[in-house]
Structure 1
Amino acid sequence: MEKFTVHTGTAVPLRRSDVDTDQIIPARFCVSSSRTGHAASLFADWREDPEFVLNRPAHRGATVLVAGNDFGTGSSREYAVWALQDYGFKAVIAPRYGDIFRGNSLLNGLLTVVVPAGVVERLWQLIEADPAVGVVVDLERLEVRCAGLVQPFALDEDVRARLLAGHDTISATLQYEDEIAAYERGRRPALPTTL
């Protein structure tokens, strides 16, 4: 997994709340087990509307999504995270997320930042006024910065350390491979073993 330290990019102002995982990627597109190849399916039903924000040329190449309340509610569909990442998003900023979506995001390296609704509104205004404005998501300093706005955010320290190091849960565990092997060698033979 790629390390996440400080990311600067342009942003998409998704002025919608209660966006569920079926809106992020409709179920009919969840047919392969690959983590890639889902960019075209991201917000597929909404992208049929030429005025939808992702269809605007000014937001092409954006890597930060700024969304409304309750982003990623609904099913536990990991495809929603994969589609966002495959499209190019590195971070999502919103006031609140569906719990399972947020857990899946952080396990897959998509940083989901929680900020107050008023901050999201201000970010929307700044991005709409200048689509080329940079949004900085700084995991080292735990803050979002944009055009003079500086907003701290909180994140579980274990999750933060894992993202900073670029570890998924498996590679984080494998850091202790020698200690695990030593423990296994010291176990009584009558106990169950793993291969």
Structure 2
Amino acid sequence: MIIGNQENEGTMFGIFSYNLTTKANTISYLNDIFFRSATRKQVSGLVDKYPRCSACDTLNATISDTYPEFRRLAAILGDYQFILMSRIFLDYAPESVPAWSYIASYAQDTPILGTWHTADLPRMFYKTDEASSGIQDRYIAFVNSLDPNDGLADAADDAFTRWPSWHDSRQLIDFRANSTGLLDGDFRSNSFNYIRKNLESFRV
């Protein structure tokens, strides 16, 4: 199976909550709207994992704040609904099922949204840019042989990024605007561990 996400999945879902100006506002919003089965302490603990500082990898530096809490809310919603939830799913998947994971960062230059939720759809079906070719070639190979690397390039070709399976490497392929690379699948580990520990309480 192939499972992956856009780098900024949460921006589309957080862009209109412009009345969130403080950390306390964000905690109340998440507790009242999304995580109603969780205690305020649990939600506060989640928000604490996303400090509002430009140097923190929990908030993507490629998007800008349209209101004071936008980047924090977008990061939390993107991680909980998509990015870190995919990693939890992969951890539960049996190793007998070959799996590959990806992250897409090809639209970092898009103002406010970055590489937003559904940015992959045009690239899946049309030749929009260099990234679309890399994605389509790998998906077609996967459909044909259940291996996204099959027949794409010689193993000695340095320009070709071989996509390692998740269970063998715990790495994701990163589809960028003009290249591909590999990313270790342990980013935002504090957030990941907290969400996983409190998964039952954070059900929506």
Normalising to structure 1: TM-score of the pair?
0.29
TM-score (norm 2): 0.28
Of Structure 1 and Structure 2, the greater strand share is in 1
Between structure 1 and structure 2, the one with the greater Rg is 1
